[in-house]
Amino acid sequence: MKQNLDIHFFKKRLTKRLIELNELAEIGNAAARPIELDQARVGRLSRMDAMQAQAMSIETKRRREDEILRITAAIERINNGHFGDCLECDEPISKARLKFDSSSLLCIICAESKE
């Protein structure tokens, strides 16, 4: 049974977050650049700090890209009329769950059974 969702609210929210993530991606790409390993210019501890910061930037980038994919898929589900439907059981995802994470793919029951 289809539930009554404010699709415009969710689409606006998802689109806003997508714009934010794309802006963050532009900033974050510089932090993920390769580290220069010239010992004459940078001390060993400074290089280690830089490598750790680079690793964190790479992981942040991966998570951001994952969220972009989930949001893009949610917007596509809005466009094709399947937003709010669980991908596993085809039952409605609760409004509260969608308000918490508008890119949710599964209802709470199916999500818990996956864990």
Phi, psi of 85 (to 5 degrees): -100, 135
Report CA torsion sign: 35, 38, 42, 44: positive
Buried b (16+ CB within 10 A) or exposed e, 61-70: beebeebbeb
pLDDT value at residue 9? 94
CA dist 110 and 85 (Å) reads: 12
Check whether 8 has a pLDDT greater than 90.
yes
What's the whole-number mean pLDDT along residues 87-107? 94
pLDDT at residue number 38: 56
Task: Tell me what pLDDT residue 89 has.
Answer: 95
Distance between CA 14 and CA 75 in Å, rounded?
7
Give the percent of the chain with pLDDT over 70. 82
pLDDT tens column, 16-61: 999 999 988 877 666 555 655 555 555 666 777 777 887 888 898 8
Give CA–CA dist 3/19, Å, rounded: 28
Check pLDDT > 90 for residue 66. yes
- Residue 83 φ/ψ region, left for φ over 0, alpha for ψ in the -120 to 50 degree band, beta for the rest: beta
Q: Residue 85: its pLDDT value, please? A: 94
* Beta bridge mates, 85: 92
